[in-house]
Amino acid sequence: MTATIESTLTGIILFAHGSRDPLWKLPIEAVASRIRQRQAGAIVECAYLELTTPDLPSVASRMMASGVQRLRIVPMFLGVGRHAREDLPVLVAQLQADHPQVHFDLQAAVGENPLLIDLMAQIAIDP
């Protein structure tokens, strides 16, 4: 029997830049924690482009080893610079080539989402 997308185990990877400062990743990890609170059993991890571990291939491999067959990659970038526009698609294309049995769903950067834009405007208006 072939699994449908609805019944396929999905993992969420929150992908961010990274920093030498270990405190930098706390907000990204807080988002992952909030996802777990809001959706019991959610499979969610953070991955970083540079300067922070783990990296995207490591997280994807770990999730696939646990049975995840669909990976939703959410770029945690406010602005869509070179990393989101160029580096990340190359990383995802390599993952897809290496793991053709897995579906990779690369989302738009969170900074492009109208919900986040509205929320940041509300925070600025009414702190």
Cis preceding-peptide flag for 54 (omega within 30 of 0):
yes
pTM score of the predicted model = 0.91
Q: Are 43 and 60 in contact (CB under 8 A)?
A: no
Q: pLDDT per residue over 64-122, tens digit each?
A: 999 999 999 999 999 888 878 889 999 999 999 999 999 999 999 999 999 999 999 99
pLDDT at 81: 83
In the structure, what pLDDT confidence band is assigned to residue 123 with cuts at 50, 70 and 90?
very high
pLDDT at 7: 60
Q: Where are the beta strands (DSSP E) in 21-69?
A: 43-48
Q: Give the span between the Cα atoms of 115 and 3, in whole angstroms.
A: 32
pLDDT score of 14 more than 60: yes
Q: Give the span between the Cα atoms of 62 and 67, in whole angstroms.
A: 9
pLDDT at 79: 87
Mean pLDDT of 46-75: 97
pLDDT at 4: 42
In the structure, what pLDDT confidence band is assigned to residue 9 with cuts at 50, 70 and 90?
very high
